[in-house]
């Protein structure tokens, strides 16, 4: 399985963003979210999503991988914070309540 990288650019719907992992425990991850025109970083707390290997009809195989939650899961699988202390509080709460 391809693990979520510790540093990566945003996906197509997050162009211009760059993510850096601050901490990870199991499937709970605390990330800084940066954009070049922002005065300061934002912070995301996410529950890492795991996807099984998939074979497309044309035979191309997409290996098993970890990803950020889809936008539809925001609020239940991912949260955005303006400050690191607020993000860390959510991260700690999730780590206590989430079995990985």
* SS3 per-residue string spanning 37-83: CCCCCEEEEEECEEECCEECCCCCEECCEEECCCHHHECCCEEEECC
Domain membership of residue 71 (yes or no) is yes
Provide, rounded to the nearest whole percent, the portion of the chain with pLDDT above 90. 84
Q: Is 2's pLDDT higher than 80?
A: yes
pTM: 0.89
On whether residue 2 sits in a domain, the answer given is no
Residue 48 lies in a domain: yes
Please indicate, yes or no, if residue 42 is contained in any of the structural domains: yes
Residue 1 in domain: no
pLDDT at 15: 79
| Structural Rg of the chain based on CA atoms | 14
Q: What would the pLDDT profile of 60-72 be if each residue is shown by its tens digit?
A: 999 999 999 999 9
Cβ neighbours of residue 76 under 8 Å, at least 6 residues apart? Answer: none
Quote the CA–CA distance of 51 and 45 in Å, as a whole number: 19
The residue segments making up the domain with residue 59 are 7-97
Look at the chain and report how many structural domains it folds into.
1
């Amino acid at each position: 399985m391809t693990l979520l990288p510790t540093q990566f650019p945003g996906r197509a719907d997050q162009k211009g963003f760059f993510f850096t992992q601050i901490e990870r425990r199991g499937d709970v991850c605390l990330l800084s979210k940066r954009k070049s025109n922002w005065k300061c970083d934002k912070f995301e707390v996410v529950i890492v999503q795991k996807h099984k290997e998939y074979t497309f009809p044309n035979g191309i195989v997409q290996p098993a991988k970890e990803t950020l939650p889809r936008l539809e899961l925001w609020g239940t699988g991912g949260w955005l914070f303006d400050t690191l202390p607020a993000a860390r509080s959510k991260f700690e709460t999730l780590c206590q309540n989430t079995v990985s």
